[in-house]
């Protein structure tokens, strides 16, 4: 019996060992995770001591890294090779897992990590050509010797850190998900740029606009979806005279592509993100020098999308935020200039209906002839499963993302259509930022812009000599008015992009009489501008409020600008509530509704977290829009596109008798008064159902809340239900899960000073106190003064340590 007991004990031991050291579904090997010598214990915050010296044989000279109190690295190198090598090494030290995971996501490789549940996402990423686009950019980047040297040094720096890692030093997420980092490549850095391009330009309404046009007709489309919206307040001031003309021939067309149905079964893609930026002339500031401000609005995640850094070598001293995984500073300043970005929003993605010759899809019809399709076979490795092969058909327009009969991953993707996207074309955006980091004047800034293609950006500029400017910058298709608003005919050469808008003709303004430049993703120019760039821009509200505040200011200080970035005036409430409250005053209200009415009546139109009125108004607005458009924009096959908010606001204020206020599903003829009353009642009912009786449970911070989730959605590694001010169409554009990803204010002059903050921390390690240490101050609208050093030997109380990086002695 002894040998039986021994055998059973051995079997149990072996079984437990196998269970602890192998994954089970989505559960990682628990033995590895809890290993006290290499598991998650090693990622705890038991030691954040700054290493005094690190030997890196690839370095040509000594590099000094000065660490400040927020763990921002200030890198001082004696040559550019060492500068970018050190940037790669230091960034990887803090953010390696984030860098690699994001590139796996962009490249359609998540199935390698998490298995088949990510397969359809990966298939989508492959089919829209993300790797194809990045490969094209890598070829262009390598043709520029300066860019090639920078990206190669950065890549080698990242790999030097990866090679130094032991199992116990692996970032926590590698242990949770049970995989190891692979070598960094130039392609991975290019993929990050394409990720930003898709995030900011990939949302397309062409498909649903075509369906809406079929249902409503051209005259209604012109009314509800105008090219130049009501309350327009463009980036380039109206009345600006242009000294050039477009030579594009306007196409006269009556026909349009028919679509079969609205796809209501798959998810919607997110709408493009926003941002604010502005620069004020020294004539308006207390110091007499320009002030530049920027706060790009992006998805909120931990670790943060940005990594704060200062880069110094003999020909550069720049400070700002970088993208983990890419060299240089993306938004920032140096001693002479400052710059910032907002999304341009101009249309750079069109869809072309493709006619294939037969089911093999080896040929497609174009210009009266059959043309050969280029086939790209994608190999999608799936953890624990067989590799999946997927063939993507490329036409002259681009890849056919889904074929007829397939269900698209996002419901705005038209099946049987090819995707023409500017980001597929070769480009080298890295060179723009490399040059901006070193720029000293407006002329240098213009030269840097030449290299920037996609995603289009409103690039604001200021220098200490007094110039301010903004360019709607990027590579924009030269198109006839309305081209790309609906699906296009892939067989017709007239529907192709003919060329690009000459870069010098992009909308821009320098040193305007009003003393400031600004952008908030709104339409870039009025109808006098001779080119068509798109129509579906962000609402006028943030841009109008920015211009309103700046127009009333004098003797502006940086503190004024920091406060302005947290402005929470909701313009649509200020415009609409007097009219809507006038309607409600004549209605019979319950005691609870009367209390809600009084909250709105006494409100100052500011979306503060501690107030009840913002929640009431938001629910009221959503219910009112639903009642205005639900009967007109729903069909048997699905929902049509609803007009943008400025159209709805215009109808309420200026067209009270318009037919859209009548609910066509009833026998009665409803008016705006009827809909407003119904919407107010419904809003109060929904709030009560979700949060109980009116009171503190209805405050904006609790009813909306903001989530900053972990990049991989790992529970417990994010910050959930933050009580924040603001809303997406307010200057302080904090929403449920996106908002100001980096707030920056720079005042130029003899000595540059700057302030900044982002919702996170420098470290990617959830066990570090620098993982999310800035979140609470970000919520409060605070900003930190940035430590802009001139020498590694400077003394400052905010310096907490130094690291020497050196080659082999």
pLDDT at 5: 54
pLDDT at 22: 57
pLDDT at 636: 74
By CB neighbour count within 10 A (0-12 exposed, 13-18 middle, 19+ buried), where does 654 fall?
exposed
Can you tell me the distance from the alpha carbon of 128 to that of 679, in angstroms, rounded to the nearest whole number? 41
User: Is residue 35 predicted with pLDDT exceeding 80?
Assistant: no
Averaged pLDDT, 144-166:
98
How many Cβ atoms are within 10 Å of 638's Cβ, its own excluded?
Answer: 15
Averaged pLDDT, 798-808:
96
pLDDT at 2: 57
User: Is residue 265 predicted with pLDDT exceeding 50?
Assistant: no
User: Is residue 42 predicted with pLDDT exceeding 60?
Assistant: no
Which of 10-14, 552-556, 579-583 bottoms out in mean pLDDT, i.e. has the lowest? 10-14
Can you tell me the distance from the alpha carbon of 809 to that of 807, in angstroms, rounded to the nearest whole number? 6
Is 687 a domain residue? yes
pLDDT digits (tens, 9 = 90+) for 589-648: 999 999 999 999 999 999 999 999 999 999 999 999 999 999 999 877 678 999 999 999
Is 482 a domain residue? no
pLDDT at 638: 79
The rounded percent of the chain whose pLDDT value lies above 70 is 91
Helices and strands per DSSP (H, E), number in the chain: 22, 33
Per-residue confidence band for 33, with pLDDT thresholds at 50, 70 and 90: very low
pLDDT digits (tens, 9 = 90+) for 737-793: 999 999 999 999 999 999 999 999 999 999 999 999 999 999 999 999 999 999 999
Per this entry, what is the length of the chain? 809
Can you give the CATH number for the domain in which 576 is found? 1.10.1400.10
Averaged pLDDT, 121-148:
98
Q: Name the average pLDDT for the chain.
A: 93
pLDDT at 247: 77
User: Is residue 40 predicted with pLDDT exceeding 70?
Assistant: no
Averaged pLDDT, 535-557:
98
Is 543 a domain residue? no
pLDDT digits (tens, 9 = 90+) for 638-690: 789 999 999 999 999 999 899 999 999 999 999 999 999 999 999 999 999 99
Is 689 a domain residue? yes
Can you tell me the distance from the alpha carbon of 56 to that of 801, in angstroms, rounded to the nearest whole number? 19
Q: What residue numbers bound the domain in which 589 lies?
A: 571-605+612-698
Per-residue confidence band for 14, with pLDDT thresholds at 50, 70 and 90: very low
pLDDT at 483: 96
Q: Are 359 and 489 in contact (CB under 8 A)?
A: no
User: Is residue 356 predicted with pLDDT exceeding 70?
Assistant: yes
Per-residue confidence band for 267, with pLDDT thresholds at 50, 70 and 90: very low
Q: For the residues of 458-517, what is the DSSP string, one character each?
A: EEEEEETTS-EEEEEES--EE--TTTTSS-EETT-GGGS--EE--GGGS-EEES-TTSEE
Per-residue confidence band for 380, with pLDDT thresholds at 50, 70 and 90: very high
pLDDT at 256: 58
Can you tell me the distance from the alpha carbon of 673 to that of 662, in angstroms, rounded to the nearest whole number? 11
pLDDT at 434: 99
User: Is residue 28 predicted with pLDDT exceeding 60?
Assistant: no
E-strand spans in 686-790? 706-710, 719-722, 738-740, 743-747, 753-757, 784-785
User: Is residue 171 predicted with pLDDT exceeding 60?
Assistant: yes
Residues 6+ apart with CB under 8 A from 25: none
Can you tell me the distance from the alpha carbon of 658 to that of 672, in angstroms, rounded to the nearest whole number? 9
Averaged pLDDT, 368-383:
98
Is 798 a domain residue? no
Averaged pLDDT, 67-89:
99
Residues 6+ apart with CB under 8 A from 5: none
E-strand spans in 281-356? 291-299, 301-302, 307-313, 316-322, 331-333, 337-343, 349-353
pLDDT digits (tens, 9 = 90+) for 201-227: 998 999 999 999 999 999 999 999 999
Q: Tell which residue, 339, 305, 321, 291, has the closest CA to residue 435.
A: 339
How many domains, the chain?
1
Is 578 a domain residue? yes
φ/ψ of residue 554, rounded to 5: -140, 160
Is 618 a domain residue? yes
User: Is residue 41 predicted with pLDDT exceeding 70?
Assistant: no
Can you tell me the distance from the alpha carbon of 756 to that of 798, in angstroms, rounded to the nearest whole number? 15
Averaged pLDDT, 437-447:
99
Is 95 a domain residue? no
């Amino acid at each position: 019996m002894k040998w039986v007991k021994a055998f059973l004990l051995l079997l149990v031991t072996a079984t437990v060992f196998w269970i602890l050291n192998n994954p089970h579904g989505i559960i990682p090997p628990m033995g590895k995770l809890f290993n006290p010598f290499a598991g998650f214990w090693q990622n705890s915050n038991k030691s954040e001591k700054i290493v005094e010296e690190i030997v890196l044989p690839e370095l040509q000279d000594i590099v000094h890294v000065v660490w400040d109190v927020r763990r921002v690295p200030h890198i001082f190198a004696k040559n550019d090779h060492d500068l970018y090598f050190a940037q790669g090494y230091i960034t990887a030290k803090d953010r390696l897992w984030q860098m690699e995971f994001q590139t796996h996501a962009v490249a359609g490789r998540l199935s390698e990590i998490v298995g088949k549940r990510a397969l359809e996402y990966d298939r989508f990423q492959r089919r829209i050509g993300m790797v194809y686009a990045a490969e094209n950019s890598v070829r262009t980047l390598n043709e520029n010797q300066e860019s090639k040297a920078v990206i190669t040094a950065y890549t080698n720096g990242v790999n030097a850190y990866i090679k130094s890692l032991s199992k116990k030093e692996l970032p926590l997420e590698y242990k949770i998900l049970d995989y190891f980092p692979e070598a960094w490549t130039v392609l991975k850095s290019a993929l990050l740029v394409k990720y930003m391009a898709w995030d900011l330009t990939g949302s397309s309404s062409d498909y649903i606009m075509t369906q809406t046009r079929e249902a409503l007709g051209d005259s209604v489309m012109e009314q509800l979806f105008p090219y130049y919206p009501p309350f327009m307040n463009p980036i380039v001031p109206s009345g600006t005279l242009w000294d050039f003309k477009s030579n594009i021939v306007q196409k006269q067309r009556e026909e349009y592509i028919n679509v079969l149905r609205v796809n209501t079964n798959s998810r919607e893609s997110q709408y493009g993100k926003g941002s604010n930026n502005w620069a004020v002339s020294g004539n308006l500031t207390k110091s007499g020098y320009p002030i530049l401000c920027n706060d790009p609005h992006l998805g909120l995640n931990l670790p943060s999308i940005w990594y704060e850094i200062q880069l110094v070598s003999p020909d550069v001293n720049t400070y700002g935020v970088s993208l983990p995984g890419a060299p240089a500073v993306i938004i920032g300043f140096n001693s002479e200039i400052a710059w910032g970005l907002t999304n341009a929003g101009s249309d750079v993605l069109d869809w072309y209906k493709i006619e294939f010759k037969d089911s093999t899809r080896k040929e497609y019809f174009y210009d009266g002839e059959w043309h050969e399709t280029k086939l790209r076979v994608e190999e999608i490795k799936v953890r624990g499963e067989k590799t999946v092969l997927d063939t993507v058909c490329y036409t002259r327009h681009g890849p056919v993302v889904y074929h007829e009969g397939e269900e698209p991953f996002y419901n705005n993707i038209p099946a049987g259509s090819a995707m023409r996207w500017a980001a597929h074309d070769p480009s080298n955006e890295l060179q723009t930022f490399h040059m901006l980091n070193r720029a000293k004047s407006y002329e240098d800034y213009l030269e840097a812009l030449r290299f920037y293609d996609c995603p289009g950006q409103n690039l604001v500029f200021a220098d200490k000599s007094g110039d301010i400017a903004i360019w709607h910058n990027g590579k924009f298709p030269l198109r006839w008015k309305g081209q790309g608003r609906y699906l296009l005919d892939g067989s017709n050469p007239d529907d192709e992009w003919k060329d690009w808008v000459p870069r010098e003709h992009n909308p821009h303004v320098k040193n305007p009489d009003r003393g400031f430049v600004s952008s908030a993703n709104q339409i870039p120019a009025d109808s006098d501008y001779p080119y068509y760039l798109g129509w579906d821009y962000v609402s006028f509200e943030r841009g109008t409020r920015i211009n309103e505040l700046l127009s009333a200011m004098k003797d502006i200080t940086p503190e004024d600008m920091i406060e302005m970035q947290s402005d929470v005036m909701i313009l649509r409430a200020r415009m609409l509530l007097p009219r809507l409250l006038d309607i409600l005053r004549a209605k019979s209200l319950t005691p609870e509704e009367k209390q809600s009415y009084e909250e709105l009546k006494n409100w100052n139109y500011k979306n503060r977290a501690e107030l009840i009125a913002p929640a009431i108004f938001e629910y009221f607005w959503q219910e009112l829009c639903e009642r205005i458009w639900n009967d007109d924009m729903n069909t048997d096959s699905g929902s049509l596109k609803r007009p943008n908010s400025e159209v709805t606001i215009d109808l309420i204020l200026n067209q009270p008798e318009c037919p859209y206020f009548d609910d066509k599903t009833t026998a009665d003829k409803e008016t705006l008064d009827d809909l407003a009353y119904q919407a107010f009642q419904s809003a109060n009912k929904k709030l009560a159902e979700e949060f109980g009786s009116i009171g503190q449970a209805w405050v904006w911070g609790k009813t909306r809340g903001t989530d900053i989730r972990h990049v991989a959605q790992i529970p417990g590694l994010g910050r959930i239900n933050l009580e924040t001010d603001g809303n997406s169409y307010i200057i302080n554009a904090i929403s449920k899960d996106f908002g100001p990803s980096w707030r920056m204010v720079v005042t130029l002059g003899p000595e540059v000073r700057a302030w900044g903050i982002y919702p996170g921390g420098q470290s990617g390690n959830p066990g570090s106190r620098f993982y999310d240490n800035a979140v609470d101050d970000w919520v409060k609208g605070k900003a930190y003064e940035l430590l802009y050093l001139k020498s590694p030997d400077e003394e400052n109380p905010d310096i907490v340590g130094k690291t020497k990086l050196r080659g082999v002695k």
